[in-house]
Amino acid sequence: MKYYYLVSGLPDIQLSDTKVSPMVEMAEEIKDNLSAADANLFRLLLMKYDNENLLAYLKDNNAQLNPLGNLSSNDWEELVAMMNESDSVADKRLMPYIQQFYAQYTEGFPENVLPEDQLATGYYSYGMKCGNRFLADWFEFNLNLNNVLAALMCRKFGFDIKTAVLGSNEIAEALRMSGARDFGLAGTFDQMEEVLRIAEMTDLYEREKRLDALRWNWLEENTFFHFFSAERIWAFWLKCELIHRWEDLTTEKGKAVFRQLMDDFRKEVKFD
């Protein structure tokens, strides 16, 4: 389906922009103007907020949830209650990977396995099988990018790469097995050399900006021939997410945030 009017009305945005329209209102407008099938695929992108909200709800059922999620606190209360009663819940609000995660969560994860990582693994796998080439490639790109960064971080600090890398695709297996500088991925992961250069940056704030620029460029390249399709709209949303991430971060505040991320990483990842 073509969205001539909607795509024509999208503003021109750049990663250097400091503000975008309110995200909740934007998400609702996008859903209202897409076909039912395309709106469902857009909700797939919003499931990352459902993942965050589920983890927050499991820690505190009174937690303030991100309004960008598809599911409300009441939804999670109902769904968690149903999952406590049955191993197989027939409810269209509940994705299979969520049920699989919750079953593991209630049984307890092995040592060194983080619930966030298990949930992310299921989400990436689910997204990569969504049936839309652009979205499936986007999920795989982010899985690969995050895995390469995790492997490089583990190598730098002497952590166990095998437990930090998620999923089981070709790149994940190479990261777990190879001792080469580029893990033997120079001809497999197109952005490998650029990621290696970014990973060597000592300024964490600028490093994250460069990584977001890499994601932005991927979106540009992979929508070049999508003129008035849903892919163009999804890419616009994803670009807005990248801008929104930085809206309230000054340089100093940003550096403090990423120093905290580094400290958390060191605490969570165990030595061999």
Indicate if the pLDDT at residue 259 is higher than 90: no
C-alpha distances out from residue 16 to 19, 53, 56, Å: 9, 29, 31
Q: State what percent of residues in the chain have pLDDT above 70.
A: 91
DSSP 227: S
Extract the tokens encoding 33: 């103007």
| Coil, helix or strand at residue 271 | strand
Q: How many CB atoms lie within 10 A of CB 188?
A: 13
Indicate if the pLDDT at residue 84 is higher than 70: yes
Predicted local confidence at residue 87, as pLDDT? 85
Q: What phi-psi label fits residue 108: left (phi over 0), alpha (psi between -120 and 50 degrees) or beta?
A: left
Indicate if the pLDDT at residue 268 is higher than 60: no
Summarize pLDDT for 130-152 with one digit per residue, the tens: 999 999 999 999 999 999 999 99
* Cβ contact 155:105 at 8 Å: no
* Cβ contact 35:132 at 8 Å: no
User: What does R_g of the chain's alpha carbons equal in angstroms?
Assistant: 19
